[in-house]
């Protein structure tokens, strides 16, 4: 039995958790509740009058073909960003894992892009691909291809996918490398003695053993593509041309702060919130149960 | 089934470190060779060279009369049991054993037959075959690792300290099983260990390695009775051999151990080292308590350890401070401070040259 003194009431524990509680309430719970509340009202553009309309904002949203278009676009964008950044990161990690000389430098350099701010990364790729001054459109011209993401929606989409993936590769690389290094070397040697060549070893031993890392990164990357690519979209395409890169998170900003439809924008962010919650639940449920070997 | 021949096998790492300084040995078909030595002596490196996991820098390696220096591990017709078992954690026990067979391209029924057969030999139940390695105990994982080696029907088994992750009791049991298995299958085996008891009990022949050099190669009995160097003498046998710094008398007929304590030598003595220093080695079990015997040496007892079956008496001779161990069977009631008469069984003394550390033949 524990003695009663252990549970003597004291303010100290409350003081110790207070900073965390205050930050959570102030910056997470309060804004979230505001969004929930705002999603149920309609306000005029000047903020002079507002009316409580229950779920009318949501109803309008679900009737809006532009919203469904954005939804679809977001899924394509997220899937391609996650796939591209994870597969490239895995290839780089497998190669970095084999490097013996100068591996430290190699790894450090590969991690750098993660430190670049989204808007700065966006500006960088914007200039590289700029139809007027960028060198890649210039190079593509030699092959007879005319690149202009300011006019072509698919090219604009490809460009934001490249940019968003490029920024995320470093993060994925770090986790994949750590995952690869935690696989005991003797397993690979045992497979080599069993007669498996490098490719077969990778797909039958290494890749399955990396599955917890892969699944974790998949969720992280989808969340990233859904919510953290706003800066890139804003800097590179501004959602255009003709909504071609207008993904959900950008639409929230655009409708709310440019279009001044605060209620509709709040309704969209509530839906995004629900998606994050769902993804988080999936992650916790699966990472701990299904993907463990 | 095959012989393994190592001809001046050497290994130098790219950083210039020489791990193996030239090893020659002919391992007969069906022989069980144990590589033994302290950690860092190169025994694992040598085994990994045979397996093909480390490159050979110089010399020839032949398995079954064929030079295999440049062959991939999978082409050498070997199977290896790793220290940490190296079982594939995401596969069932059955698939762990079947993995190599699937790569060989055997038919499903052939694979099943071989796995079931190996499981039978190793007493793994049907139910255990469908489990994942992490659901097995240490001893069972060890069996699976051996099973994975057996199903391949290799010409050579390689064992890299397979028992060092097991507890003491299980280690003794598995040691016996490995010996039985190797004898019944008759497959040439190379076994690495740092445990001299394992080495003595398992091997047909032992190779003692020290700093990448072969100290001695021979049967367990040869190593025990005729250790070629101080290193082997100290390594083989437990408790370790007693080493005394002695002076050989001017006529070479006796050695001087401590003030007033001399030991006469057999076979006309040691003329070649007359008047020089030498090291006298006597195993604890070859020192006997000899009350009232002529020529017994007085041992001053410092510590007594009771093991039940044996009693280990620690002490020293006269003013010589070298700690000695005497092993007496049964329970002996002595205590620290006693002075006991001790006799040395003559044909069980070993003399070593202190400068070359090699055995001096009498």
Q: Do the Cβ atoms of B246 and B278 come closer than 8 Å?
A: yes
Q: In this structure, what CATH number is given to the domain that contains residue B303?
A: 2.40.50.140
The complex scores an ipTM of 0.81
CB contact under 8 A, B53 and A205: no
CB contact under 8 A, A187 and B88: yes
Q: How far apart are the first and last CA of chain A?
A: 38
How close B178 comes to chain A (CA, Å)? Answer: 19
pLDDT value for A138: 87
Which structure tokens are listed for A18?
């207070």
Bridge partners of residue B159, in order along the sequence? B81, B191
What's the average model confidence in pLDDT over A210-219? 89
Bridge partners of residue B217, in order along the sequence? B207
Instruction: Give me the residue label for tokens 């994949």.
Output: A176
CB contact under 8 A, B99 and A204: yes
Residues of chain B neighbouring A208 (CB-CB closer than 8 A): 90
- Kindly give, in sequence order, each residue whose CB lies less than 8 Å from that of residue B113, ignoring residues fewer than 6 positions away: none
- pLDDT one digit per residue (tens) for chain B, 362 residues: 689 999 999 999 888 898 899 899 999 999 999 999 988 888 999 999 999 999 999 999 999 888 998 988 888 889 999 988 899 999 999 999 999 999 988 899 999 999 999 998 888 888 989 999 999 988 889 889 999 999 988 999 999 998 888 888 888 888 998 999 899 889 999 999 998 889 999 999 999 999 989 999 999 999 999 999 999 998 888 888 999 888 888 887 888 887 777 787 776 667 777 888 889 899 999 888 887 777 778 888 999 999 888 999 999 887 778 888 999 888 888 888 888 888 887 778 888 988 888 888 77
Local confidence band at A2 (pLDDT 50, 70, 90 cut-offs): low
B188 and B285 together in one domain = no
B140 and B156 together in one domain = yes
Q: Is residue A22 predicted with pLDDT exceeding 90?
A: yes
- Is some CB atom of chain B closer than 8 A to the CB atom of A205? yes
Instruction: Give me the residue label for tokens 């044996």.
Output: B310
Size of interface A-B (CB pairs under 8 A): 59
Tell me the residue length of chain A: 293
Q: Do the Cβ atoms of B224 and B192 come closer than 8 Å?
A: no
- Residue B40: CB atoms within 10 A of its CB come to 14
Residues of chain A neighbouring B52 (CB-CB closer than 8 A): 193
CB contact under 8 A, B132 and A204: no
| Residue B91 CA, distance from chain mean position | 34
B121/B129 Cα distance (integer angstroms): 13
CB-nearest partner of B86 from A190, A195, A211: A190
A209/A94 Cα distance (integer angstroms): 13
B360 located within any domain: no
Residues of chain A neighbouring B159 (CB-CB closer than 8 A): none
Local confidence band at A242 (pLDDT 50, 70, 90 cut-offs): confident
- Kindly give, in sequence order, each residue whose CB lies less than 8 Å from that of residue A27, ignoring residues fewer than 6 positions away: none
CB contact under 8 A, B82 and A195: no
Domain borders along chain A are 64-289
- Is some CB atom of chain B closer than 8 A to the CB atom of A209? yes
How close B260 comes to chain A (CA, Å)? Answer: 59
- Is some CB atom of chain B closer than 8 A to the CB atom of A292? no
Q: Is residue A85 predicted with pLDDT exceeding 90?
A: yes
Q: How far apart are the first and last CA of chain B?
A: 41
A73/A250 Cα distance (integer angstroms): 12
Q: Do the Cβ atoms of B299 and B324 come closer than 8 Å?
A: yes
- Residue B135: CB atoms within 10 A of its CB come to 12
Residues of chain B neighbouring A191 (CB-CB closer than 8 A): 88, 99
CB contact under 8 A, A191 and B88: yes
B266 and B169 together in one domain = no
A200 to chain B: closest CA residue:
B103
B206 and B264 together in one domain = no
How close B36 comes to chain A (CA, Å)? Answer: 21
B224 located within any domain: yes
CB contact under 8 A, A204 and B148: no
pLDDT value for A262: 80
Residue whose C-alpha is closest to residue B100's, from B44, B140, B153, B24: B153
How close B348 comes to chain A (CA, Å)? Answer: 44
Query: Of B183, B206, B235, which one is at a domain's C-terminal end?
Result: B235
Local confidence band at A289 (pLDDT 50, 70, 90 cut-offs): low
CB contact under 8 A, A293 and B78: no
B362 located within any domain: no
Angle, helix A211-227 to helix A262-289, in steps of 10 degrees: 180
Tell me which residue range forms the domain holding B318: 243-352
Residues of chain A neighbouring B51 (CB-CB closer than 8 A): 189, 193
Task: Say what percent of chain A tops pLDDT 70.
Answer: 94
Which structure tokens are listed for A259?
């279009």
B240/B350 Cα distance (integer angstroms): 13
- Is some CB atom of chain B closer than 8 A to the CB atom of A189? yes
B81 to chain A: closest CA residue:
A190
A125/A137 Cα distance (integer angstroms): 12
Evaluate if pTM is beyond 0.90: no
pLDDT value for B289: 85
Q: Do the Cβ atoms of B239 and B325 come closer than 8 Å?
A: yes
How close A99 comes to chain B (CA, Å)? Answer: 15
Bridge partners of residue A52, in order along the sequence? A41
B310 and B186 together in one domain = no
User: Distances from the Cα of A143 to the Cαs of A151, A162, A207, in angstroms?
Assistant: 19, 20, 37
What domain count does chain B have? 2
Residue whose C-alpha is closest to residue B133's, from A214, A195, A209, A178: A209
B221 and B106 together in one domain = yes
Written as one string, the DSSP assignment of B188-210 is EEEEEES-HHHHHHH-SEEEEEE
B173 and B273 together in one domain = no
CB contact under 8 A, B99 and A196: yes
- Is some CB atom of chain B closer than 8 A to the CB atom of A203? no
Q: Is residue A6 predicted with pLDDT exceeding 70?
A: no
- Is some CB atom of chain B closer than 8 A to the CB atom of A48? no
Q: Do the Cβ atoms of A201 and A120 come closer than 8 Å?
A: no
The architecture that CATH gives domain A64-289 is Orthogonal Bundle (1.10)
CB contact under 8 A, A184 and B100: no
Q: Is residue A203 predicted with pLDDT exceeding 90?
A: yes
A264/A259 Cα distance (integer angstroms): 10
How close A168 comes to chain B (CA, Å)? Answer: 28
In three-state form (DSSP H/G/I as H, E/B as E, the rest C), the secondary structure along B138-184 is HHHHHHHHHHHHHHCCCCEEEEECCCCCCCHHHHHHHHHHHHHHHHH
Query: Of B168, B202, B235, which one is at a domain's C-terminal end?
Result: B235
The sign one gets for the Cα dihedral A23, A25, A31, A32 is: positive
Q: Is B319 helix (H, G, I), strand (E, B) or coil?
A: coil
Instruction: Give me the residue label for tokens 């790219």.
Output: B14
B219 and B264 together in one domain = no
Q: In this structure, what CATH number is given to the domain that contains residue B190?
A: 3.40.50.300
How close A283 comes to chain B (CA, Å)? Answer: 20
CB contact under 8 A, A293 and B89: yes
Residue whose C-alpha is closest to residue B159's, from B97, B84, B248: B84
- Residue B65: CB atoms within 10 A of its CB come to 9
B325 located within any domain: yes
Q: Using an 8 Å CB-CB cutoff, list residues of chain B that contact chain A.
A: 51-53, 72-74, 78-80, 82-84, 86-90, 99-100, 103-104, 132, 148, 152
B101 to chain A: closest CA residue:
A194
Angle, helix A30-38 to helix A262-289, in steps of 10 degrees: 130
CB contact under 8 A, B99 and A191: yes
Residues of chain A neighbouring B99 (CB-CB closer than 8 A): 191, 194, 196, 204
Query: Of B185, B204, B235, which one is at a domain's C-terminal end?
Result: B235
CB contact under 8 A, B88 and A189: no
Residues of chain A neighbouring B155 (CB-CB closer than 8 A): none
- Is some CB atom of chain B closer than 8 A to the CB atom of A141? no
Residue whose C-alpha is closest to residue B43's, from B130, B168, B159: B159
Phi-psi category of residue B58: left, alpha or beta, with phi > 0 → left and psi -120 to 50 → alpha: beta
> Do strands B349-352 and B277-282 pair parallel, antiparallel, or not at all (unpaired)?
antiparallel
């Amino acid at each position: 039995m524990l003695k009663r003194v252990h549970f003597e009431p004291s303010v100290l524990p409350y003081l110790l958790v207070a900073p965390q509680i205050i930050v959570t309430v102030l910056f997470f719970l309060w804004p979230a509740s505001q969004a929930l509340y705002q999603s149920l009202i309609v306000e005029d553009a000047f903020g002079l009058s507002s009316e409580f309309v229950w779920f009318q904002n949501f109803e309008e949203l679900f009737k809006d073909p532009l919203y469904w278009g954005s939804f679809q676009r977001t899924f394509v964008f997220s899937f391609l960003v996650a796939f591209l950044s994870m597969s490239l990161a895995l290839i780089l990690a497998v190669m970095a894992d084999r490097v013996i000389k100068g591996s430290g430098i190699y790894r450090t350099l590969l991690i750098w892009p993660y430190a670049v701010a989204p808007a700065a990364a966006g500006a960088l790729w914007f200039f590289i691909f700029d139809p007027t001054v960028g060198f890649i459109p210039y190079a593509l011209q030699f092959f007879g291809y005319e690149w202009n993401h300011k006019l072509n929606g698919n090219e604009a989409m490809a460009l934001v996918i490249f940019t968003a993936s490029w920024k995320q590769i470093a993060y994925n690389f770090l986790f994949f490398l750590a995952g690869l290094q935690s696989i005991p070397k003797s397993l690979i040697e045992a497979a080599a003695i069993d007669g498996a060549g490098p490719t077969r070893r990778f797909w039958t031993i290494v890749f399955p053993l990396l599955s917890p890392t892969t699944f974790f990164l998949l969720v992280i990357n989808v969340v990233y593509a859904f919510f953290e690519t706003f800066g890139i979209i804003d800097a590179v395409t501004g959602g255009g041309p003709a909504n071609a890169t207008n993904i959900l998170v950008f639409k929230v900003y655009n409708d709310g702060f440019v279009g001044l439809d605060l209620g509709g924008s709040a309704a969209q962010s509530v839906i995004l919130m629900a998606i994050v919650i769902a993804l988080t639940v999936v992650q916790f449920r699966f990472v701990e149960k299904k993907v463990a070997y | 089934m095959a012989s393994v021949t190592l001809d001046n096998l050497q290994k130098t790492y790219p950083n210039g470190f020489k791990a193996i300084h030239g090893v020659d040995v002919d391992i007969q078909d069906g022989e069980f060779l144990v590589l033994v030595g302290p950690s860092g002596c190169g025994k694992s490196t040598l085994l990994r060279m045979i397996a093909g996991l480390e490159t050979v820098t110089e010399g020839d390696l032949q398995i079954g009369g064929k030079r295999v220096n440049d062959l991939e591990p999978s082409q050498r017709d070997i199977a290896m049991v790793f220290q940490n078992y190296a079982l594939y954690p995401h596969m069932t026990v059955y698939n762990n054993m079947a993995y190599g067979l699937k790569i060989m391209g055997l038919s499903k029924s052939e694979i099943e037959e071989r796995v079931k057969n190996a499981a039978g030999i190793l007493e793994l139940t049907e139910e255990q075959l469908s489990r994942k390695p992490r659901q097995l105990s240490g001893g069972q994982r060890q069996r699976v690792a051996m099973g994975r080696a057996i199903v391949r029907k290799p010409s050579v088994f390689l064992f890299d300290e397979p028992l060092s992750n097991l507890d003491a009791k299980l280690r003794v049991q598995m040691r016996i099983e490995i010996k039985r298995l190797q004898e019944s299958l008759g497959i040439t085996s190379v076994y690495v260990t740092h445990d001299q008891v394992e080495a003595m009990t398992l091997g047909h022949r032992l190779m003692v390695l020290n700093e990448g050099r072969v100290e001695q190669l021979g049967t367990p009995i040869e190593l025990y009775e005729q250790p070629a160097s101080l290193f082997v003498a100290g390594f083989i046998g437990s408790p370790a051999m007693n080493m005394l710094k002695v002076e050989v008398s001017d006529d070479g007929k006796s050695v001087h151990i401590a003030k007033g304590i001399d030991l006469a030598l057999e076979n006309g003595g040691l003329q070649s080292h007359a008047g020089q220093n030498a090291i006298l080695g006597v195993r604890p079990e070859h020192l006997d308590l000899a009350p009232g015997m002529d020529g017994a040496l007085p041992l001053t007892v410092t510590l007594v350890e009771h093991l039940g079956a044996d009693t280990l008496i620690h002490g020293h001779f006269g003013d010589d401070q070298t700690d000695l161990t005497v092993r007496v069977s049964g329970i002996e009631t002595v205590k620290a401070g006693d002075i006991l008469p001790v006799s040395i069984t003559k044909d069980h003394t070993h003399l070593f040259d202190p400068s070359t550390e090699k055995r001096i033949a009498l």
